Structure 1
Amino acid sequence: MTLPLPLLLLLLLCFISYSGSSSISVSGLKGGIVTLSCGSEDREIVDISLFHRSKKIPVCERNCSGRVCKEGSCDVIINNLIYRDAGKYFLHVYYNNDQTEVKRLMLEYKLHIHDEISVKKGEQLKLDVLLTNADKVERNSGSGWTELWRRGHGVSSDGLSVSLTISNFTANDTGSYRVLDSNNETLITVTVTESRTESKGKLDTDDDHKPNEQHNHWVIVPSVCGALLVLAAVIVFVVIRKHQCQNRNADHDPFQGVPMQERE
């Protein structure tokens, strides 16, 4: 016998009960990983579902190579974080309470993405942070937060376009940038510093050469001195030997002491 659809739905609601939701704040670095922990390892998990911005996110459970993977019984790991990952997540965990009843645990997460960027003076700074759930962007250069952009209100900085791009970066553009949603909750925080790579690299190059020059100097000079000493020793030896040969020849000369006129 086939039961009417309303009765089937009623029976389903009788078998599935809902537990309350909780809010968990998590954060991760751009390009890093974050874990959405369910805290239900001791339960018999039937299924899990992950939602972000009202969309269901596929979660890989076995032999995973994707960005979103299941770990353990119901933890979810998000790899290679990007700006778009920021925001609220809802994890539905279905588990068995006994042999006849299935319960659902609904967990809410608020994911905050951190990032650090170093920009050279005069170069372009582009922040791709205008998410669909972004409501405003603020900057703090040490004197408090200043609003740069608000959805529907344009931009308050002349150097900043709607795409949050600074075409000619200067030291005044350094600081912390944060993106907030309509509930004034932070989605993304980016710390921007001025890059010293070029000048530092030049200093490092100069420093690297100086020790080598000193090393070469102290290596080459002893070599030249040694060669000169050897040459001087050779000359002294030749002079002494020549002198000795002359004396030896004089000792064996039968006409030694005889005038040249009388030798004939």
Structure 2
Amino acid sequence: MFRCFNLLLLLFCLVYHSENTSISVSGNKGGNITLTCESEAKNIFHIELIGESGGIDVCQNEEYSGRVFKEGNCDVVIKNLIFSDAGKYTLRVLYNNQTDLERQIRTYQLHIHDEISVKTGEELKMSVLVFNADKVKTNSSGEWKEVWTRDHGVQSDRMNDDTDINLIIKSFLDSDAGTYRVLDTEGEILITVTITESKEKLEHTDDTKYDPVVSWIALTVVVLLLALILTAVTLHKRLLRGDLRCLSRRTRAPEALRAHNDVC
């Protein structure tokens, strides 16, 4: 009798687990993902999408202004992904079977990726401390270690957290490069950020960055100004020589002076 009870309990657990296993869905930050319902039924009455923070409005198609809309029979698309989209979702599809409503429930675990290139010495802000984040781990040192937890905050004096939104590396070093994972309370991965060191030097990131087009224009303007100045000096010298000749002629005899007045 006891063995039969254990067998029934095991069977129940297997059935329950199979019905509640989350479907893993991954997408890039700024991209789109699709939560598929895999149903071709024509008698769908209504669909509901529920996130960890509550119900989500699903537009009938992409023409509406929302980021979440229905596609095809009952698939749901989330576009322009942001970090706070990561987490668990439940999709409820209600079928109208004459007088009875049949329901299909599917759960999803949305995982968001991002890649960042950072210059040495630059401050790095990662908006990964979403509301359902429990801890952040990194393998930048060669093995996975915690750098932030919900209960204790940052674990390094080189880091800071900004109003529970941004995880901040104050001055980035090449040793900070690596993969950063954001996990929820159940250890599920919400966000993965891959950080690499930029080869561009930090001193070239200010507002006086070299621009070859601007430099060529500036050089052309300088050459034209020098040409105008040289022309003005040449004309001035010629006029000065003419004045000196007239002056020397005026010092001659009165007859010669009268003869050359018109010329001068």
Q: Same fold (TM over 0.5)?
A: yes
Identity %: 55
Deviations 1:7-51 (CA, angstroms, capped at 9, x unpaired): xxxxxxxxxxxxx55421100000000000001123421110111
- 1:104 lines up with 2:103 in the alignment: yes
- 1:190 lines up with 2:193 in the alignment: yes
- The Cα of 1:131 is off from its aligned counterpart by 1.2
* Range that drifts further, 112-121 or 51-60: 51-60
Specify which of 160, 166, 169 is matched with residue 166 of structure 1. 169
- Partner SS for 2:66: coil
- Partner SS for 2:31: coil
Which residue does the alignment assign to 1:89? 89
Deviations 1:199-225 (CA, angstroms, capped at 9, x unpaired): 9x9xxxxxx9xxxxxxxxxxxxxxxxx
What TM-score do the two structures reach when normalised by structure 1? 0.65
- The Cα of 1:134 is off from its aligned counterpart by 0.6
- The Cα of 1:142 is off from its aligned counterpart by 5.7
Which residue does the alignment assign to 2:235? none
What TM-score do the two structures reach when normalised by structure 2? 0.65
State the structure with more CA Rg. Answer: 1
Is contact 2:120–2:201 with CA below 8 Å preserved after alignment? no
Is contact 1:22–1:106 with CA below 8 Å preserved after alignment? no
Which residue does the alignment assign to 1:35? 34
Gap runs ≥5 in structure 1:
1-19, 202-207, 209-264
Gap runs ≥5 in structure 2:
1-18, 205-211, 213-264
The within-5 A match list for 1:220-239 is: none
Deviations 1:64-92 (CA, angstroms, capped at 9, x unpaired): 23211110111000000000000000111
Q: Distance in 2 between matches of 1:122 and 1:39?
A: 49
Say what the alpha-carbon RMSD is for the aligned residues: 2.5
Which residue does the alignment assign to 1:217? none
The within-5 A match list for 1:1-264 is: 20-62=19-61, 63-96=63-96, 98-141=97-140, 143-163=142-162, 164-198=167-201
- Aligned residue-pair number: 186
What amino acid sits opposite 1:31 in the alignment?
G
Q: Distance in 1 between matches of 2:51 and 2:58?
A: 12
Q: Distance in 1 between matches of 2:199 and 2:24?
A: 34
